[in-house]
Amino acid sequence: MVYTSTMVYAVEINSSIFPAARISNISTLLNLVLPLVMGGAGLVCLMMALYAAFNIMTHGDNPEALKKYYASMVFAIVGLLIVIASFLIVRVIGIMIGNSNLIPQ
């Protein structure tokens, strides 16, 4: 076997070059993930509400379908309220333990 020598270069991990280096603790991770989750939950709620509203308008003469789509609208709003409440609970816990940087302001 023939072995060839290759040079290995050390690279400095810089947070401006390598964005994953910015995640150094759980609060930094939550600062990145929570706004994405909240935005995603808002979009899902909007899509569910629009779908239910469209079906309520198109199935106006069918009481069974109306009941189904009204329930879908309620579930979308309750889901969004649960996500907002969980965000607020995490914020209160962060304040109680003294880490105000736990989630974004």
- Is residue 86 in a domain? yes
What's the pLDDT tens digit per position in 21-56? 667 777 777 777 878 888 898 899 999 999 999 999
What's residue 3's pLDDT? 65
What's residue 34's pLDDT? 79
- Is residue 76 in a domain? yes
pLDDT at residue 16 greater than cutoff 70: no
SS3 string of the chain?
CCCCCCCCCCCCCCCCCCHHHHCCCHHHHHHHHHHHHHHHHHHHHHHHHHHHHHHHHHCCCCHHHHHHHHHHHHHHHHHHHHHHHHHHHHHHHHHHCCCCCCCCC
- Is residue 19 in a domain? no
What's the pLDDT tens digit per position in 61-91? 888 989 999 999 999 999 889 988 988 887 7
Q: What total number of domains does the chain contain?
A: 1
- Is residue 47 in a domain? yes
Domain that holds residue 88: 24-96
- Is residue 52 in a domain? yes
- Is residue 15 in a domain? no
- Is residue 80 in a domain? yes
